[in-house]
């Protein structure tokens, strides 16, 4: 077996920006061969253009990765989108878009990864949920719904595949400084006329640690959960939120 084939292999969906990009970088630093499945090109890891809302595309892509490497050690189902609206302002099209990407995207990636993990009798699945798996937030009907569904996926997958030594865990970030975060607060500032620095200070003040988190802090937890050091951890949801949901 070549040195490339003997490397640990990780797949990260949505790995081109923000938390996903930090996860790709962290796995690379630990010697993994890392595949990034995203629609936005990236030079970090091995980029494969893949719309994760297409179950068939995800299945074919992961099957090709497994065929090439003969193993899959870690899957990070991270791809997702945010949508701000209450239930009345959420159209059926909006709801379908959230479900197809946030929920079905994770479903497709997990399902496609399980056969090789069952065969090797080992694997770690990390699903990116949110602090909204624990608490409700205003104007977050569809997004909150999707993140609660992912929390459920963590638990059922952990129980169904524990006999194969496959672990499934959820990571639940709070407010993290990503491109999405900056986009949202900029839109808020433009719409409200509130100075951007005032919004940033307000967001930091909502967290008990009085700051927002960094993508690398989420990636550190993801890498730990993928490692053998977390070999007795499965079916659990882990907050990375500066204490927000503890309030």
The domain tally of the chain equals: 2
Note whether 84 and 187 are same-domain residues.
Answer: no
Q: Are residues 51 and 139 in the same domain?
A: yes
User: Do 182 and 100 belong together in one domain?
Assistant: no
If one counts every other C-beta atom within 10 angstroms of the C-beta of residue 77, the result is 30
Question: What's the pLDDT at 5?
Answer: 54
243 within 8 A of 208, measured Cβ to Cβ: yes
- pLDDT tens column, 45-85: 999 999 999 999 999 999 999 999 999 999 999 999 999 99
In a domain, 156, yes or no: yes
Q: Where are the beta strands (DSSP E) in the chain?
A: 9-13, 33-38, 46-49, 74-77, 123-128, 166-173, 237-240
Residues of the domain holding 191: 177-212
Give residue-wise pLDDT tens across range 2-46: 444 579 999 999 999 999 999 999 999 999 999 999 999 999 999
Claim to verify: residue 142 and residue 63 sit in the same structural domain: yes
Active site residues: 143
Q: What local confidence, expressed as pLDDT, does residue 1 receive?
A: 37
Dihedral sign (CA 145, 221, 232, 77): positive
- pLDDT tens digit sequence for 181-209: 998 899 889 999 999 999 999 999 999 99
Asked, for residue 163, whether it belongs to a domain, the answer is yes
- Mapped onto helix, strand or coil, the DSSP state of residue 75 is strand
- Whether 247 is covered by a domain: the verdict is no
Say yes or no: 207 and 229 in one domain.
Answer: no
Instruction: Retrieve residue 103's tokens.
Output: 């929920």
Using the structure block, give the residue that is written with the tokens 């990503």: 178
How far apart CA 98 and CA 82 sit, in angstroms, is 8
Residue the block writes with tokens 């919004």:
199
pLDDT at site 108: 98
């Amino acid at each position: 077996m070549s040195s490339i084939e003997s490397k640990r292999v990780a797949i990260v969906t949505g790995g081109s920006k923000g938390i996903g990009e930090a996860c790709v970088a962290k796995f690379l630093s630990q010697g993994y061969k890392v595949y990034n499945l995203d629609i936005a090109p990236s030079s970090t890891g091995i980029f494969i253009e893949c719309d994760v809302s297409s179950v068939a595309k995800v299945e074919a892509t992961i099957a090709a990765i497994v065929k090439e490497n003969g193993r899959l050690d870690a899957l990070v189902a991270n791809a997702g989108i945010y949508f701000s609206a209450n239930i009345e302002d959420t159209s059926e099209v909006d709801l379908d878009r959230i479900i197809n990407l946030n929920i079905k995207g994770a479903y497709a990636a997990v399902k496609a990864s399980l056969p090789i993990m069952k065969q090797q009798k080992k694997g770690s699945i990390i699903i990116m949920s949110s602090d909204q798996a624990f608490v409700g937030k205003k104007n977050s009907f569809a997004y909150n719904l999707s993140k609660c569904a992912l929390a459920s996926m963590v638990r059922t997958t952990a129980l169904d595949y524990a006999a194969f030594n496959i672990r499934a865990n959820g990571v639940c970030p709070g407010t993290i400084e990503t491109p999405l975060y900056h986009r949202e607060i900029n839109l808020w500032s433009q719409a409200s006329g509130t100075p951007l620095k005032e919004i940033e200070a307000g967001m930091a003040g909502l967290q008990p640690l009085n700051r927002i988190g960094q993508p690398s802090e989420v990636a550190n937890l993801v890498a730990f959960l993928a490692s053998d050091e977390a070999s007795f951890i499965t079916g659990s949801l882990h907050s990375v939120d500066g204490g927000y949901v503890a309030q």
